[in-house]
A and B are shown apart, each in its own frame.
Chain A
Amino acid sequence: MAPVNSQRTIDERHTTHVKPPSGFPTLELGEVWRNRDIVLILAVRDIKVRYKQSFAGISWAIIQPLLTMIVFTAVFAGVVEVTTHDAPYPLFSLAALVPWSYFVHAITKATSCLVTDQNLITRVYFPRLVLPISAVVGGLVDFFIAFALLVILLVIYGSAPTLKILLLPFFLLFTILTALALSLWLSAINVQYRDVNNALPFFSQVLMFVSPVAYPASSIPEKWQLLYALNPMATVINGFRWALLENQPGPGIYSLVSVAVVLIALFGGLYFFRWQEDRFADVV
């Protein structure tokens, strides 16, 4: 037997227990935090890979919301008139499209992340939560590029920012949490049922119609507002418009419903993900 090196100190934290899955899962968020390097490295990898061998490169982050804005403006400001509370329609729609594009991009990326990286899951151990978190965090680069476009448009229209803009980070955080909450469920289910990935484009299209992307949330009758707030993206978009544009109705009392929905979906999603996690390597 080789001699024991007594200089070596072993951290209690590094003790690994291998045991069958049992009972209610624990979240182990501390372990995810200790592996935050992997979150960043995977996010950077995805960004690098996405824009390699691409002519337009990172400007795709601008092209998509910009073109959608132009189409929306042509339809909803030209053909069918939509009330925008006096905001120019391009600004009105882009203020919604920037968080919306991020949201759709993040959940699309996150849904397939466990399948895309199945060679990692079946061959290396690391907290699996790192993968959807990385997908959701990585999308922020696109968000900030698209947001820069929005800022330019605000300047062009001479729309001066008010103090309300200071609350924008909270609405961004809420967008991230909404995307993460949904991603945890979708990614874990997608491991076993790839149907999720096929249904997702349709699902996000429908979700766009029930979100105030092209029209103002105020056009929904009062008696439906509570139901409408069950969709947290309604609150996200209201919040972005309110913080960036003038004369927009702010997020009301119903926003609390959205917050509750997201918190429940987030913690439910974390537990669901952890419950399913043990089988990822065997099932994927």
Chain B
Amino acid sequence: MPPKSEAVLRYEVIDRCLTNIYKRFPSMEDLLYKCERELKHSYTVHTIQRDIHAMKFDEDLGYMAPIKFSKQSNGYYYDDPNYTIRTFGINDKEIEAIELAAGVLQHFKGIKVNDTYNHAVDKLFSALDIKKSSKEESLANAIQPEESVYMRGMEHFEILINSIKKKISVSFIHYSYEKKSFKTIIIHPYLLKESNKRWYLVGYSEEHKEIRYFGLDRIYDPILIDKEFVSNNKNDLRNLFNNKIGINQIKVYEKKNFSLTADENVSEKLEDIKIWVSKEMANYIKSMPLHASQIIREQEEGDLVIILNLVPTLELISLILSYGQNMCVLKPNWLKEEIIKVLHNSAEQYKHGPF
């Protein structure tokens, strides 16, 4: 939160004076004295008069405070005895912004990220006395993020985010779809990472003695335990994931005789990936790069050659395959060969089964 401006601090002091039931109708001298005393700064009467005017009429400020002057009591007061800027200090534009943000977060509702989320939003709106717009009017309806389906394990989101925040180690049971086996894991959690609509817990695994990630859908019964926390001082995890498309990097030793398996550690081994893109797809790839590292070399015929510098992942392969005949890996050879193998096997499967 940015620091409050001095003017806002004065508005707050004036507000406290006007809502002080033990000293009603503070005079200009009272307000000046209070501001100077609390903020340890000298002000003029004109400054306080200007503050009162802003609190009453400044639409950008949004208070629209019902401040009146009583000649009889020679002091200021709020016309509405329940008014205070502490609950009404939000203007229409800010309400719209909150509604919009709430709309963006709507897609989390269905997947039960956080039981308290809905309640918190309701409480916020209620505390601010914002009437929620009707469904037809709501700004939130003007945006439609992709629908998220419920993923098993999302019920752990809250406990895991708290463990990350408070740096508490976690014990859980993990089931590996690939190895078809269970493991008891103790993790020092650092990050919750979303990739392709799946969420992963990233942290130092005591079992593996390195930073690993675990799909939330494969995590069972997490329990916070009292164990000295191993902090992550070596790796900038956010940058580490920026070097990939997705999360499931391919095991290095399997690249020669590759099969679709993932390496669950998060090390960083960058490779140049050279890909041909058809002219039909060229504009799409130019307007939305496959990866931030993408370099484009335009060909005379309108087709492209792009070069990506990243850690190869299963998601990269899926992405390339999703473009069908409009995309073709030129380099490295192991990746090219693997994609040929996948396409061949897939074609054989369509022709002959095993269905």
Do the two chains belong together in a single complex? Answer: no
Interface residues of B (CB under 8 A from A): none
Interface residues of A (CB under 8 A from B): none
